Amino acid sequence: MFETIDILSFMISVTGMVQAGLLLLVLRNEGTSAWHVNRWMGIFLLALSMSFARDIVLLLGGTAVALLLEPLLFSAYFALAPAVYLYFREMSGDLPDRPWLHMLAVPLACCAVAAMMVMVFIRYGDRLFGGDPLHITFDTDFDLSLVATGLLVGLFVFVSVYHIALSRVAHRYTKMLKAKGDHDSLLRRRWVRGVVLCLHSALVAFVLSQLLQMVSRDMHWSNMLVNLGFVLVLLRLNFLLASQPFRTGNAHEQTGINDLRPERRSVMDEYQTAQICKRLEQVAGDGQTLFDPLLTMPKLATRIGVTPNQLSHTLNNVLGQSFFEFVNSVRVHRAAGLLCAEHDRTIIDIAMEVGFNSKSTFNLAFKRVTGMTPSHYRTQAITKPDGLDLSTRFGLTPITPSGN
């Protein structure tokens, strides 16, 4: 018969797996291009589900079955932190050239745990298949305890390194959003902070669960409380991802240069760069895409048929601009023409038309590009109409690769 604590633990674990599944559906329903970013969060959710699965397998299958599956279940923990890290790297448009190398620790850990389980079954197989409980300590089996402790310490160090790296990536991303200054960027910044807090909480809860298991002989209560914490984190994460103030992508659009999508090289050739620049020139002239106030790096990358990393490479290394500098320069160029041509329109009206959400943000971006405020520029345009040539005076050059 199951005890009350076993039933509670089972219910919490099942609830956690259901929550993870629902959240995975939310991410998947955002579309194909969004999944290019959300896949990392999906891996995080699958790995987190392994924590719930361990308790379910132990309760329904027994110790022997749980230990047979331990290489798979335990190694999944090594995917938690890298998945979160890569999620924010891709969201910020700065994905590494070989992101899957960050998952190399998973198969390595699986092999190490499998070797350990072979030792366990060689020494205690009869007891395990006989249904006897097994509790290994340094006093009863020093070698196995040393290996198990080494794996846990390695996992703690591994998680801590990625925990720090994630904090740095999130800090840079939120700092970039703060610098943009518009209302939507500030909403996104607040959303990112909330998600990072949830993910940090999940990682910390996992570390605490492993520490409790190391010092406690009765792991039922510690596992149940930690899994309950995971469920609460998933509930909060479900709410945040369902109510995010933006989307990480739209439906995939065929653009004719989708062969650029696989990134097997860190540096793109001149033809690929020229194609991206050509697409950027097209969207700069369509009068819509770059004037969308909700425009993001992933959204623009999807629009021109490349990955955010390829777009970022072209903007930074070929055009010499960041994403926001490029977008703002096109918007300011358009706004400058409207300021000169339509004297009766208010500055805020023109700012809204070209994609800015506030006059202060528009003034700041306009001054960075032209060296003067919009009102001063309009005055100069009226008094000295021949003295203003944006394309030459303010460095708004055509979108072509340098050297071409």
Span 8-17, pLDDT tens digits: 888 888 888 8
CA 363 to chain centre: 31
∠ CA 93-259-271, nearest 5°, is 85
Bigger pLDDT: 183 vs 342: 342
Mean pLDDT is lowest, of 93-102, 146-155, 322-331, for 93-102
Measured CA to CA, the distance from residue 271 to residue 319 in angstroms comes to 15
Measured CA to CA, the distance from residue 57 to residue 193 in angstroms comes to 35
CA 55 to chain centre: 28
Residue 95 has pLDDT above 70, yes or no: yes
Nearest to 293 by CA among 366, 240, 351: 351
pLDDT at 113: 94
Residue 118 has pLDDT above 90, yes or no: yes
Domains of the chain: 4-242 (1.20.1070), 266-393 (1.10.10.60)
State both tokens at 333: 């160029």
Nearest to 230 by CA among 5, 3, 23: 23
Measured CA to CA, the distance from residue 126 to residue 156 in angstroms comes to 32
- Name the percent of the chain lying above pLDDT 70: 79
Q: How confident is the model at residue 102 (pLDDT cuts 50, 70, 90)?
A: very high
CA-based radius of gyration for the chain? 27
Kindly report, residue by residue over 185-238, the tens digit of the pLDDT. Answer: 777 788 888 888 887 777 777 667 667 666 665 556 666 777 777 788 777 777
* Rounded (10°) angle between helices 359-370 and 374-383: 60
100 burial type by CB count under 10 A (0-12 exposed, 13-18 middle, 19+ buried):
exposed
Give buried/exposed letters for 34-53 (b at 16+ CB in 10 A, else e): bbbbbbbbbbbbbbbbbbbb
pLDDT at 307: 82
> Which 8-state DSSP code applies to residue 318?
I
Kindly report, residue by residue over 134-154, the tens digit of the pLDDT. Answer: 777 778 888 888 988 899 889
pLDDT at 195: 80
Which amino acid is residue 44, in one-letter code? F
Kindly report, residue by residue over 248-292, the tens digit of the pLDDT. Answer: 543 333 333 344 444 444 445 677 788 888 888 888 887 788 888
Model-level pTM? 0.59
